């Protein structure tokens, strides 16, 4: 939020639909967090496959499915 606040436009200064770089600032701020969680999930999945712990694999797959459903719902509302 702190980093993204630099791109916020004041509606009174630029009109109702101001063009700013907010999406780009937000994406660059979130990218390291997103990459670290994707890496952690990938490492977890590889560890499950190497150790053949299929009970943990079910949990991993269910977590992945829940994320896919959450993203689909989010995109449906935008």
Domain holding 47, by residue range, is: 4-76
Contact 23, 9 (CB under 8 A): no
What pLDDT score was predicted for residue 58?
86
Distances (CA, A) of 40 to 35, 45, 47: 9, 9, 10
The model's pLDDT over 53-77, given as tens digits with 9 standing for 90+, comes to 888 788 888 888 998 999 899 888 7
Q: What is the pTM of this model?
A: 0.55
Number of domains into which the chain is organized = 1
The model's pLDDT over 11-44, given as tens digits with 9 standing for 90+, comes to 666 555 556 666 777 788 888 888 999 899 889 8
Contact 18, 9 (CB under 8 A): yes
pLDDT exceeds 70 at position 5? no
Q: Which residues contact 64 (CB under 8 A, 6 or more apart)?
A: 41
CA 5 to chain centre: 18
């Amino acid at each position: 939020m702190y980093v993204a606040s630099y791109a916020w436009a004041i509606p009174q200064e630029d009109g109702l639909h101001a063009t700013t770089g907010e999406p780009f600032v937000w994406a660059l701020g979130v990218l390291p967090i997103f990459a670290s969680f994707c890496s952690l999930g990938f490492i977890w999945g590889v560890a499950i496959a190497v150790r053949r712990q299929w009970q943990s694999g079910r949990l991993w797959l269910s977590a992945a499915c829940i994320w896919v459903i959450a993203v689909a719902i989010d995109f449906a509302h935008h």
